[in-house]
Structure 1
Amino acid sequence: MISNRTSNYPPLDPDAVLWSHSKADPDSDLLIMMHGWSYDERHLFALRSRLPQELTIASLRAPIAEAGGYAWFPSSGNPIGDPRPEVANAAVDAALAWYDDLPRFRSVGVMGFSQGGAMALQLMRRRPAEFAYGIQLGGFVVDDAQPGDRQLALTRPPVFWGRGAHDSVIPGSAIRRTAEFSATHLSVDERVYSDLGHDVAGQEVRDLGVFVGGMVDHARTAAEGKP
């Protein structure tokens, strides 16, 4: 396994997090959102009206300023779809440091676009028992090995993987790597949208809303002890 640390990765700014509710309710379900390169915390947060109203959403801002927005992995030295594992894992360390200061929630899901999709999968790999489900939109899996991979291969948590058929940003090699990992470690719901490029829109938004609704219903049913 490659080291999960790099010395100069900046921390997340907790004041930059967008919350769907003014006060986090530990009895609710949490969805953590992570944007892609050059975006910010407002990007995926715009989808909140398409998700269950009772869901608590926390949309994070990546800590590296680039291209008028922010990045999880700086472009220098980190090819698109193939960031250096030590950088990706340092980004995950920063996200987990923020997360560990939160109250406990009934369930926690992770969602991301592009680089943020890689972050979502990497968080699940780092803490396979912590995150109930994942959503990665136009993203990829980091090319490394994690201790949690073995548990994921056993538990196969649900992951929605949406991507555009005309996505010219994420290389084919990264998509193939992600498909191979998903097939052996996740219960993946893969959707390829014929009208999309590197974007989140249209039917994909409706489909991920249904997926998240199902995850929230499942968490509620489990908490109530129903079969």
Structure 2
Amino acid sequence: MADDSLPALDWAPGSWQRPGAQADAPVLLLLHGLGASQEDMQAVAELLDPQRRYHLLTLNAPRRAVTLNRGYVMPAWYDLLGLGPDSAEDDAGMQAIARSLHAALAPVMRGSGLILGGFSQGAALSLYLHLHASFAARAVLVFSGYLPLRQVTPPASDNAAPIFWGHGTYDDVLPLEYAQWGEEILQRQGYAVTCRDYPMGHSIVPEEIAAAREFLAASAVQPT
């Protein structure tokens, strides 16, 4: 059974407080993809915020057996049962990791704001945390992700965060249709979604990061 208590997070309390950012600046939390590590998102975080407007936080997912990969143990935020449009989803695993993250990030979430984001599975989890787990966010950044539990996407609340979604036209892991389905459902439910596609595979490109950076500025997701 996977350990969802996150017993060995590679961060120390206060380590998200970034030198050069204002004390009351929002925290930019970026979550990595399946089988990756927090180092994959650290460079993206720095490129998203060269002016040091935000505090930055990346985390390592717990290691668990992943059904999609024949039970191989790897860093994963929750189990992946399949990537098809009709594949079952690990709702219980998402709930468990959301509880663990909520407890672990309590000091961060009591600050002046949280920006959620990530790549692939980390992007999907970011959407889940905001849509289904009551994580108040000032914005959500989706890099090559998908909309989890799309059949039960709740209507947008008055304080729903704006969403940026970047995706590759040549993505052979999560095809572009996943972004199109997600955008359609989210907009139908009243969310403000900015979608951009790029001639790339399952990755992140500089043009996408620049667009996300402009999105944050346009959305006024900045310290007051």
Same fold per TM (> 0.5)? yes
- Distance in 2 (CA, whole Å) between partners of 1:157 and 1:54 is 18
1:95–1:80 CA distance, 2 compared to 1 (3 A)? farther
Match of 2:129 among 123, 132, 136: 123
- Can you list the C-alpha shifts for 1:93-145, whole angstroms capped at 9, x where unaligned? 22212122436222211001110111111111135571111001111111253
Moved more, 198-207 or 82-91: 82-91
How far apart are the structure 2 equivalents of 1:172 and 1:94? 31
Corresponding residue for residue 4 of structure 1 = none
Q: Deviations over 1:21-71 (max 9, x none)?
A: 269975111111101001110111112332141310111111125778511
Decide whether the 8 Å contact of 1:110 with 1:133 is kept in 2.
Answer: yes
Counterpart residue identity of residue 189, structure 1: T
2:67 counterpart of 1:70: no
Rounded to whole Å, the distance in 2 between the matches of 1:68 and 1:129 is 28
Number of matched residues?
208
How do residues 1-227 of structure 1 correspond to structure 2 at under 5 angstroms?
Answer: 8-13=2-7, 15-17=9-11, 19=16, 21=18, 27-50=24-47, 51=49, 52-65=51-64, 70-75=75-80, 78-80=81-83, 82=87, 83-102=89-108, 104-128=110-134, 130-143=136-149, 145=152, 149-150=154-155, 152-171=156-175, 174-183=178-187, 184-193=189-198, 195-215=199-219, 217-220=220-223, 223=224
Q: What's the offset of the Cα at 1:199?
A: 0.3
| % same residue | 20
The CA distance in 1 between the partners of 2:114 and 2:122, in whole Å, is 16
8 Å contact 2:28–2:55 — kept in the other structure?
yes
Q: Do the aligned partners of 2:9 and 2:60 also contact (CA within 8 Å) in 1? A: no
* Contact in 2 for aligned 1:118/1:136 (Cα 8 Å): yes
Which segment is superposed worse, 128-137 or 161-170? 128-137
1:47/1:20 CA distance change after superposition, 3 Å: farther
| AA partner of residue 79 (structure 1) | G
Task: Name the SS for the 1:166 alignment partner.
Answer: coil
The more displaced of 203-212 and 122-131 is 122-131
Is this contact kept in 2: 1:21–1:56, CA < 8 A? yes
- Contact 1:164/1:192 (8 A) holds in 2: yes
Counterpart of 1:191 in 2: which secondary structure?
strand
TM-score by length of 1: 0.78
Q: How far apart, in 2, do the equivalents of 1:214 and 1:14 lie?
A: 36
Tell me the CA shift for residue 85 of structure 1. Answer: 1.6
Computed over aligned residues only, the root mean square deviation of the Cα atoms, in angstroms, reads 3.0
Extract unaligned runs of 5+ from structure 1: 1-6
Does the CA contact (< 8 Å) of 2:2 and 2:64 recur in 1?
no
